[in-house]
A = this chain, B = another copy of it.
Amino acid sequence: MLILTTTRLTDEIEQELIQEFDEIRFIFKENIEAADNHLEEADILLTFGSDIRREHIKKATKLKWIMVLSAGINQMPLGEIQERKILLTNVRGIHKTQMAEYALAMLLNYYQNLFTYYKRQQEKVWDKSIKRREITGRTLTVVGAGSIGSELARLSKAFHMKTIAVTNSGGERPYFDQVYQNDQIKEALEQADFIVSILPETEKTKGYYSKDHFKWMKQSAIFLNMGRGSAVTENVLLQALNDNEIEHAILDVTPIEPLPRESQLWSHEKVTLTPHISGGSEQYIPRAVALFRESLMEFLETSTVSINKINIDKGY
């Protein structure tokens, strides 16, 4: 059996895998081009996914399982994978710690006005008049509440926040005080001081947020998007900000990435931007490999993987 990677792990982790699974051949390559020659023999492919094209899948005739080292699969040749009945899994769940920290860091930073203090320090000005607010006791609405949303809600409860989830299916969710289905989103948005969007990109979530969604939000609301940038168009967002429908937007994701220099989002006074980094972590590869190990052991025993198995029809 051959396991092929299209990304290098660390030397240490690669050696550990080789030793732990000594009956398996491993080939570690830095990208799909370098891995191309070995595709025909590969049983399992470990990849970040975005450079995998239909022709790679065609070539990999023995392929039984692809593990994607990210959460998004929207750039992959899903039709080909589904037709060939190749098992597809991802690393859903390993983003939760860093993304929950990101969201709280950004909300605290904005409410505490830390960029203004930073500018005053540069100017050597001791300015006690800068306004600060507390996040304690506010209301948080998470749109697209899965494992990341639950982790954010767990931390938000420590700050005595009211937590609201918007999901496809409704029902109870740990750490959420209220759960609304998508068609009840108005009530969920009206209450929120902070709206955190963690929607994946699917056909249903492209352009998810309309002008009305922003009208329903409080004028003092903070909209934080760390899901996918396609959930809201630049026009809808800019109009909401310019019409004072909400107070501020914090964007880790944008409709086009990297964000073009001519975008008004860069210099809009009501926008804080980061370059799609919320899911990254020093701990990313170790956590992903830990999940791969666990999945591989299941695969060796049962020839399938239940952990984070993707339903291609649903898109997640």
Contacts and interface: CB of A to CB of B under 8 A. Distances in A.
Interface in A242-259: 257-259
Contacts of A127: 275
B126 A258 contact: yes
Contact of A105 (B112, B257, B259, B274): B112
Interface stretch (A152-160, A202-210, A216-224): A152-160
A114 interface: yes
Interface residues of A, number: 48
A115 B118 contact: yes
Closest 4 CB pairs of A and B: A126-B258, A158-B158, A105-B108, A126-B275
A101 B275 contact: no
A314 interface: no
A124 B261 contact: yes
Contacts of A295: none
A295 to B, nearest CB: 23
Given A108-B108, A134-B283, A155-B159, A274 B117 contact: yes
A114 B105 contact: yes
Contacts of A267: 122, 124
A180 to B, nearest CB: 25
Contacts of A101: 108, 112, 134-136, 159
A271 B239 CA distance: 39
Nearest to A254: B126
Given A115-B115, A121-B272, A275-B120, A134 B98 contact: yes
Given A98-B134, A124-B267, A136-B97, A114 B112 contact: no
Contact of A259 (B126, B136, B257, B281): B126
Contacts of A272: 118, 121
